[in-house]
């Protein structure tokens, strides 16, 4: 693992402009990520951090500040399971396109949360935004147990909720690719795991319809539902801009 160096750079972006959001790892030749067409946010965990808003990394108590480990490409973010997380906040992503994709690579570790009243789930990532006078979220979770279930909790602007779920046990300790596609035109949300459609909903989350201003990776707000494992290549993109 490598000590993280956080470098901030100012980037002027419009509401629908593409921008890259990367983290720096010192100590080895960096992997250079490909440019992703239509990307609003691209967390490749390589090279430099060019930010459309503020970014912070909460302290990683379990392993100090060693928050990198080898990923499927270059380095990946290593969530420590202690409540530490990566968070990006911005007001520049006010409106997304009609068809949006949120995707990332995932590798869970075989680990039991030691914190009091451990939750039945661990939160991988949360994408949040204001809708009216409420903050609403898209929450990616992985259940605990021998046959973990990947799930995504959705909530639309009216407060209606739904949850997309995989079958038990399809998420192993290997690398997996998670992809959520939200289409406002057809009013559908689809969850894919390793390229296969696993669940579908007619809920269009307000984070897509009304806008996103915060991304958190590694947990939500409780130590007892923190994730321990690796996340890489986190992308929010205009799904109509090109082939994923």
What integer pLDDT is reported at residue 209 of this predicted model? 80
Whether the CB-CB separation of 115 and 79 falls below 8 Å is answered with no
* Mean residue pLDDT across the chain: 77
**Number of neighbouring beta carbons within 10 Å of residue 129:** 23
- The DSSP element (H or E) to which 54 belongs, if any, is strand 54-57
Average the pLDDT over 187-192 and give the result.
97
What integer pLDDT is reported at residue 214 of this predicted model? 84
pLDDT-wise least confident of 50-54, 201-205, 208-212, 222-226: 50-54
* The most confident of 5-19, 62-76, 221-235, by mean pLDDT: 221-235
> pLDDT (tens digit, 9 = 90+) per residue, 84-127?
788 877 766 656 788 999 999 999 998 777 776 667 889 999 99
- Burial class of residue 159 in the structure, from the number of CB atoms within 10 Å of its CB (0-12 exposed, 13-18 middle, 19+ buried): exposed
- Burial class of residue 126 in the structure, from the number of CB atoms within 10 Å of its CB (0-12 exposed, 13-18 middle, 19+ buried): buried
Percent of the chain with pLDDT over 70: 73
Average the pLDDT over 208-224 and give the result.
82
Whether the CB-CB separation of 223 and 79 falls below 8 Å is answered with no
* Residue in 126, 120, 114, 135 with CA at minimum distance from that of residue 180: 126
**Domains assigned to the chain:** 4-238 (2.60.120.200)
What integer pLDDT is reported at residue 88 of this predicted model? 79
Distance CA 6, CA 15 (A): 25
Half-sphere exposure of 27 (CA within 13 A, CB side): 12
What integer pLDDT is reported at residue 24 of this predicted model? 41
Report helix, strand or coil for 68.
strand
12, pLDDT greater than 60: no
């Amino acid at each position: 693992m490598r000590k993280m160096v956080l470098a901030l750079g100012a980037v002027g972006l419009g509401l629908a402009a593409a921008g890259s959001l990367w983290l720096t790892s010192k100590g080895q030749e960096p992997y250079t990520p490909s440019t992703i067409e239509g990307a609003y946010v691209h967390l490749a965990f390589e090279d430099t951090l060019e930010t459309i808003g503020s970014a912070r990394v909460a302290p990683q108590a379990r392993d100090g500040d060693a928050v990198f480990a080898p990923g499927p490409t270059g380095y990946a973010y290593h969530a420590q399971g202690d409540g530490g997380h990566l968070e990006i906040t911005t007001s520049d992503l006010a409106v997304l396109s009609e068809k949006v994709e949120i995707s990332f690579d995932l590798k869970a570790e075989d680990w039991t949360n030691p914190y009091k009243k451990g939750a039945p789930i661990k939160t991988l990532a949360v994408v949040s935004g204001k809708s009216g006078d409420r903050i609403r979220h898209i929450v990616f979770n992985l259940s605990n147990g021998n046959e973990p279930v990947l799930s995504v909790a959705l909530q639309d602007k009216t407060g209606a909720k739904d949850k997309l779920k995989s079958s038990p046990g399809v998420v192993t300790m290997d690398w997996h690719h998670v992809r959520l596609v939200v289409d406002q035109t057809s009013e559908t949300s689809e969850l894919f795991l390793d390229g296969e459609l696993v669940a579908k909903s007619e809920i269009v989350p307000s984070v897509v319809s009304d806008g996103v201003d915060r991304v958190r990776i590694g947990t939500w707000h409780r130590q007892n539902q923190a994730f321990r494992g690796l996340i890489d290549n986190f992308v929010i993109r205009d799904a109509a801009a090109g082939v994923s």
